[in-house]
Amino acid sequence: MKRIGTFLLALMLALAVPAPCFAAVDEKTVEAPSAVLVSADTGAVLFEKNAHDRRSPASVTKLMTMLLVAEALDTGKIKLTDTVTGSANAASKGGSQIWLEVGEQMTVEELLKAVVIASANDACTALAEFVAGSDGAFVQCMNDRAKELGLQDTHFENCTGLDDTAKNHFSSAYDLAVIAREVLRHNWITKYATVWLDSLRDGKTELNNTNKLVNTYDGITGLKTGTTEKAGFCLCATARRDGMQLIAVVLGAKTSEQRFSAATALLDSGFANYRLVTLSADPKKITQITVKNGVQKILNPAVPAKQQLLCAKGSGDPTYEYKLKKTVDAPVRKNTRVGTVKVKLDGKTVAELPVYAGVNIDKTAFWSVFVRFLRTF
C-alpha cells in the first residue's frame, strides 16, 4: 500500500495537505518489493510500498555504522586523525573490501572513506572495533540506537550487512530512512558520500563509489548501496534541491539498474510535487498577557520556534491566526502553554504552533497583597 501526503511534524498538529496535481509515482513505477520516500527535513512520508516489511538490507546496514561513527566523532570520543590497527577479525571479512592487513594502520578518516565510498567490510569492522572495543559490542550499540530511534522492524547481527550466515539480521525501508535522516544531521558526512573516485595507500588502492547516482543525479547527497544474493539490489539515495532534502530507500530490486531507476523516480516525484515552507510567527502579534496576583503584572510569551512544513506545489502561502490568553493567574511556570498560532493553507488548518510562557512568575505573597490593599485607602 502507498501513502502520499502524510505529514508528520514534531511539536505540530500533523494534518494532510491537498494532494498534488502533478504526476506522481505509483507501485508499478517502483520496480522493487519495498520502497519509501521521506522528507529529511520534516520526516513526512511521501510514498511507501511495503515500507515496513522486514528484509535483508545488505550493506545499507552500514547507515547505522556510519551514524554511530559520526556520533562518536561529533562528541569527541574519537577523532578523524586517530590511528586504527587492523585486527584479524577485520581483515577476514569478505565481499567489498580494501584488503586490510592484520596490524596495518589507517586513520579513522581513511577507514570512514572506505566505508562510505566503497562499502568496504574490513574497514567497517575495524571502525566498529575501534569505537566500541569489539565487533559484538558495536552491534549491541547498533541495536540500542535502533531502539532509541523507535525502530520497530530492525535488528542487526553485524555492522556490515553480510548476510550469508546471519539468521536474524533485518530492517525495513522505513526504518532505514529514519536512520538515514539521523545520518544527514551530521551533514559533513555527505562530503564523503558524494565522492565518485578516491584512493588510499598513496593512490595504490582505488575507492570507487558504489552509488552511480553520485555521478548522474542533480543535487545528490548520498548515501548507501547494498547488494547480496539474499537481499537483492538495495539503495538509500538522498538529494537536496531548493533547500529541500529527500530520502529514497529501495530494497530487493532484481537488478542494479532497477534500484537506481526506482530511486530516481521517487526523488524526481518528490521534487516535482512538493516544496518546503518555513512557518514563522510574527513576534509583533505575540501580545502581552496580564498576570493576576503575580509578582510581575505582565507576561511576554516566547515567540514559537520556526518549523518546517512540506506543501504541495501549487498551494498558496500559509496564513496565521493568533489566539492567546488575555489573562493568566499566578503562579505561572515557564513553558506553560498560553496560546496557539494556527497555520492555514488554502483555508485548511495544517499545523498549530504552541505559544509558551518564557519565564516563571511567582504569586504575590499575602502580606504584599494586604499592603497594596491598604494603600488604596
119 a catalytic residue: yes
> CA neighbours within 13 Å on the CB side: how many for 340?
9
Cβ–Cβ under 8 Å, residues 249 and 267? no
Which of 34, 87, 119, 269 is the catalytic position?
Answer: 119
Measured between alpha carbons, how far is 330 from 366 in angstroms, rounded to an integer?
A: 13
Nearest to 251 by CA among 341, 172, 340: 172
Among 34, 39, 56, 62, the one annotated catalytic:
62
Q: Which residues pair with 339 in a beta bridge?
A: 324, 355
- Residue 149's Cβ-side half-sphere holds a number of Cα atoms within 13 Å equal to 25
Q: Position 295: which residue type? A: V
* d(C-alpha 118, C-alpha 273), whole Å: 33
39 is catalytic: no
The number of angstroms, rounded, from the C-alpha of 94 to the middle of its chain's C-alpha atoms is 30
Catalytic annotation, pick one of 34, 39, 56, 59: 59
Nearest alpha-carbon partner for 250 in 264, 239, 240: 264
CA distance 367 to 374: 11
- Residue 112 CB: number of other CB atoms within 10 A? 22
Q: Taking the mean position of all CA atoms in its chain, how far away is CA 150?
A: 13
Positions annotated as catalytic residues are 59, 62, 119
